[in-house]
Structure formats: structure tokens, C-alpha cells
Amino acid sequence: MGQVSEDMVMHVEKNKQVCLAAYPEGMVTQQHLQVKQVRSFFVLKPGSDDVLLQTLWVSVDPYLRLRMLESADGLYFNTFQIGQPLSTAILAKVLASENPNFKVGDEVVGFSDIAEFVVVLKGTGLSKVDVPGVPKSYHLGVLGLSGFTAWVGLNLIAEMKAGEQVYISAAAGAVGIVAGQLAKLKGCHVVGSAGTDKKVEMLKTQYGFDDAFNYKKEQDWEASLRKRFPNGIDIYFENVGGNMLEAVLQVINRKGRIPVCGMVSQYNQEWTQRDGVRNLMNVVGNCVRMEGFLALNHAETWPQFLKEVTGYIQEGRLHYSEHVFEGMESFPSAFVGIFEGDNIGKTLIKLEGVEGQENRRI
């Protein structure tokens, strides 16, 4: 590939995109999203480094809710525009490439608009999928940003040590399920919480958590935690926010660490409507460090993460779960389902036999 003498042009008659239909006020519903069919022409100029992709898998992540705002309002993330596609992590096949690093047929992961066909300008952020012996879709989950978030949070932010007491909220989610297992592999005592008895049971039997509880059934979370952490909590892998954080701050140990990758219980409220955390002052006497992070800021450690976690998977010491929806039309229900607690592990959209593929001319 690389140098060619003329532009590559591709035409897709029906290219399905997931667009923002309206800014949700409060809980997001399927009505806030729209799956559009658009007619797309793609032009790749020689030497442009651009890459044309056919999307195979789409990552469905709760934090996208935070980008469905008119104003980011302190949250930092770029916001989505009405009528425009959302963007997220995808796994895709290279259909055409002006980039010497990628050739037709390569499978890659990266960030792009959510569409069946997309051009990634200059191939920015794309990387080839080339780990044998694991399902490809794992590159959007346990070997993707979800797993990396768990790994960064525990190792780089919390500086986890063997023997520590680790609590994971949203433990059956795409990140939590990895975090819990990584903490166990490190030799920690690990307790998780989740929203159904089925999830709780799975955490204990399939994912090796020392204990887990159903936060919808147990009302006094401080008591729930005290019972399961008689010696206090050293690390709280914070996924939830609100009142759960308050309960943790009552039970946290000296020099406790709280890596914060998100607060999913709070995503559907304007900030002034969110649960206030009233006992933050507890961080003083206990010298607690609470630290927000975006795993991608630690990209230099990606190779280390990939090697370590791939090893665990190949050795059968770390397991993962996916909740797979089929077809771009399923994105809105898959996304809304995350906030209803439907998912165990990673929520993904699988695309296959995409219409319009036959029409392409290059």
C-alpha cells in the first residue's frame, strides 16, 4: 500500500450511524439516540495516512452519557452535538489505507464515530489487533480501555500492595470485573457490590471475589462494608459515587486510596442534582488520597498492561464476560440497559454482513 497514483473513493449506500437525537435531562432513554442511515462517500488522498474502516464491534460505555450534555460543565470531556454521531472505541477491519502502518484486511482498534464505515484521519490512535488465543472482542474490553482502566487504577493510581483490603463497586461491570480479579491475583482481600443476586453469585463463584453483596437489597451500606471489612478498606475502586462513597469514607483506613474512574450512579443528573458527599472531611484525619484518572493518560504503560493481562487470560487465571447485542440498531437499548444494571461485564455491539458492503468501489 502507501503510494498510489490517484484518490481512493468509496461509496456506501446505507451507512448506519448512531447519532444524538436530543440532550437528555435526567435518565437517558432510547429516544435520545437515533440510528440513522446515511449515504457516505469516502475519499482517501494518496499520502494522507488516512485509513478507511469497516466496523465490526462497538464498545458501549457508560461515560458516553457524560458527553450527551450541551455544556461539559466542569467535566472536561468533549460533548456530542445534536444530529451528529457519537464516538467511542471500535474494532474494525481495514478496507482501504493510505497509511503505511495498516494494510487492507488488518484488524484494528481505535476511537471513531459510531458508524458502520468510517475514515480515521491519519490513522490517529489506531492499533493493530494481534494477540493470539483470545477472542478479538476482548480488545474492546478486558484487553481494551475497560481492562486498562482497572489495571491503571489499581496499580498506578492506588499503588496496590499484596494483602490489602480492596472494595470494588459496580463490580460486575466491564471495569469492575477486571479490577476485582486483578486485586485477587495481587493477593488482596476483595469484596464487590452489584445490583442483582445473580451478579453477586457470579462474582463469588466465577470471578473469585472473597465476598460480594447486592447493594439494592442491603440498605445500610456502611454496615454492609463494616461487616465485610472488619479491618477497614485500604483501596476503594470507585465506579459509583454518591452515597456509596460516603459509606466507604466511614470505613476507610489510614492512607486509603480511592482511584476514581467514574461515578455511574451520578451520570444521569445535572451536577446540582447529584448526591452530595457529606463526609469528605474524613480524608483529612485518615490521610486519604482520592484521585480521578483517565487511563489513556498512562498510555506509556499499555504494553506492560497488555502483556500482563494477556498472560493471565491465556493461563486461565482471569475471566471475562460480554453482553453482546447484534446490529447497529441495538445500540440505544444496549446503552440504556447499562444504567438499568442489565449488563455483566462488557457491553458490545457486534456488526456483521453489513448492508452496502457490496456497493463499495475503490
Binding residues (CB under 8 A) for a copy of itself: these are 66, 72-77, 241, 245, 249-252, 254, 260-263, 266, 271-294, 297
H/E element, 35: strand 33-44
Q: Provide the minimum distance between the beta carbon of 276 and a copy of itself in the complex, in angstroms, as a whole number.
A: 1
Q: Are strands 107-113 and 127-128 parallel, antiparallel or unpaired?
A: antiparallel
For a copy of itself, the closer CB: 157 or 313? 157
User: Are 303 and 143 in contact, with CB atoms under 8 Å apart?
Assistant: no
Task: Select 262 or 332, whichever has its Cβ closest to a copy of itself.
Answer: 262
Of 314, 345, 27, which is closest to residue 192 (Cα–Cα)?
345
Cβ 49 to a copy of itself shortest distance, Å: 28
Contact 217, 208 (CB under 8 A): no
| 157 vs 139: CA distance, rounded Å | 22
Q: How far is the CB of 185 from a copy of itself (least distance, A)?
A: 25
Distance CA 225, CA 134 (A): 35
If phi > 0 it is left, if psi is from -120 to 50 it is alpha, else beta; for residue 187 that is: left
Cβ 249 to a copy of itself, closest distance in Å?
Answer: 6
If the CB atoms of residues 75 and 131 are measured against a copy of itself, the closer one turns out to be 75
At its nearest, how many Å lie between a copy of itself and the CB of residue 302? 17
Q: What's the closest the beta carbon of residue 254 comes to a copy of itself, in angstroms? A: 7
C-beta closer to a copy of itself: residue 35 or 75: 75
Of 203 and 247, which CB lies nearer to a copy of itself in the complex structure? 247
Sort strands 107-113 and 117-120 into parallel, antiparallel or unpaired.
Answer: unpaired
Radius of gyration of the chain (CA): 21
> For residue 43, which of 11, 87, 14, 15 has the smallest C-alpha distance?
11
In this structure, the strands spanning 51-60 and 117-120 are antiparallel
Whichever of 123 and 262 has its CB closer to a copy of itself, that residue is 262
Question: What single-letter DSSP state applies at residue 333?
Answer: H
What minimum distance in Å lies between the beta carbon of 76 and a copy of itself? 3
What is the smallest separation between the CB atom of 13 and a copy of itself, expressed in angstroms?
38
The residues facing 113 across adjacent strands are: 87
Of 47, 22, 35, 44, residue with least CA distance to 113: 35
Q: In whole angstroms, what is the distance from residue 139 CA to residue 124 CA?
A: 17
Cα distance between residue 106 and residue 61, in whole Å: 25
Strand pairing partners for 350? 57, 326
Smallest distance, a copy of itself to C-beta of residue 225, A: 12
Taking the chain, what is the end-to-end CA distance rounded to the nearest angstrom?
Answer: 13
Q: How far is the CB of 277 from a copy of itself (least distance, A)?
A: 5
Is 205 or 279 the residue whose CB approaches a copy of itself more closely?
Answer: 279
The nearer residue to a copy of itself, 201 or 291, going by C-beta atoms, is 291
Each residue of 1-23: b (16+ CB within 10 Å) or e? eeeeeeebebebebbbbbbbbee
The cell 482501504 sits on which residue? 96
Quick one: 103 or 226, whose CB is closer to a copy of itself? 226
Q: Between residues 72 and 299, which has the closer beta carbon with respect to a copy of itself?
A: 72
